[in-house]
Amino acid sequence: MDSNTNYSEDLKVIKKVMEESSRFLSLSGLSGLFAGLIAFAGAAVAYFVILKNKILLTEKYFTGLTIKELRILKTELIADLALVLILAIGVSLYFSYRKSLRKGLKMWTPVSKRLLINMLIPLVTGGIFIIILYIQNQWQLIIPAMLLFYGLALVNAGKFTYSEVFYLGLIEILTGLLCAIFPVYGLLFWCFGFGILHIAYGLTMYRKYEG
């Protein structure tokens, strides 16, 4: 009997070590939840404050503006976007750090390095591509590009963390493609892709692994 409990303990150790050394498990569901809320806040600021209740990206709206007004509008939108990005990355790191402390896991491991590299390749590519779109005044494609490249980054990341991230990535890609077909509703797709999906994902993950 004694050796049998040893065998099952051995199996447990093997599974635990295999998982912990090949997957980044510090990713917290709370990161997703708060990233989603921040995305909503950013969209609300864009819609109510910057665009003053106008739907983004219609040709008519932009042609009605003077060059100066357009420049101010662009700057405000970019500032809003940058703030959302910084806050979202900040909370993700914060909650992951907290989870790693609580679970006694290391944040900086060979697998987290691999995760980062695999995420950064699509993300940086997407970032540069979006800057190009911006310079060329292809505004309509900016939100679809964000969703698409973010989705691709998550699909890549899914191999090195919870497999749910992979499926979240697939849905983000689908959202990005739909958004490219109906770019006039960019802000709504943004709210769905970065807001609702993140909140739903965050709550699911929190309940499943941290509840």
Partner 1 sequence: MRVEISGLTKLFENRVRLGIMSVLIVNDSYDFNSLKATLGVTDGNLASHLKALEENSLIRVNKQFIGRKPNTSYSITETGAQLFRTHLKALEDIIKSQ
> Does the protein bind partner 1 through residue 76 (CB under 8 A)?
no
> Does the protein bind partner 1 through residue 102 (CB under 8 A)?
no
Binder to partner 1 among 21, 75, 125, 163 (CB under 8 A)?
21
Binder to partner 1 among 45, 57, 84, 111 (CB under 8 A)?
111
Q: How far apart are CA 122 and CA 131, in angstroms?
A: 14
Smallest CA-to-CA distance from 205 within 86, 15, 36 is with 36
List the structure tokens of 186: 């960019």
Please say which residue, 21 or 58, places its beta carbon nearer to partner 1.
21
Interactions with partner 1, residue window 40-69 (CB under 8 A): none
CA-based end-to-end distance of the chain:
34
Please say which residue, 10 or 210, places its beta carbon nearer to partner 1.
10
> Does the protein bind partner 1 through residue 11 (CB under 8 A)?
yes
Within the chain, residue ranges assigned H as helices are 2-22, 29-44, 59-63, 67-103, 110-135, 142-157, 164-181, 186-190, 197-205
> Does the protein bind partner 1 through residue 10 (CB under 8 A)?
yes
Binder to partner 1 among 64, 71, 109, 163 (CB under 8 A)?
109
> Does the protein bind partner 1 through residue 82 (CB under 8 A)?
no
List the structure tokens of 205: 């993950």
> Does the protein bind partner 1 through residue 14 (CB under 8 A)?
yes
In the complex, the smallest distance separating the C-beta of residue 112 from partner 1, rounded to whole angstroms, is 10
Please say which residue, 12 or 71, places its beta carbon nearer to partner 1.
12
Range 90-98 contact pairs with CB under 8 angstroms and sequence separation of 24 or more = 91/30, 91/31, 91/34, 91/35, 91/38, 92/31, 92/34, 92/35, 93/31, 94/31, 95/28, 95/30, 95/31, 95/34, 96/26, 96/27, 96/28, 96/31, 97/26, 98/28
Stretch that binds partner 1, among 11-19, 124-132, 137-145, 163-171 (CB under 8 A): 11-19
Binding site for partner 1 (CB under 8 A): 4, 7-8, 10-11, 13-14, 17-18, 20-22, 106, 109-111
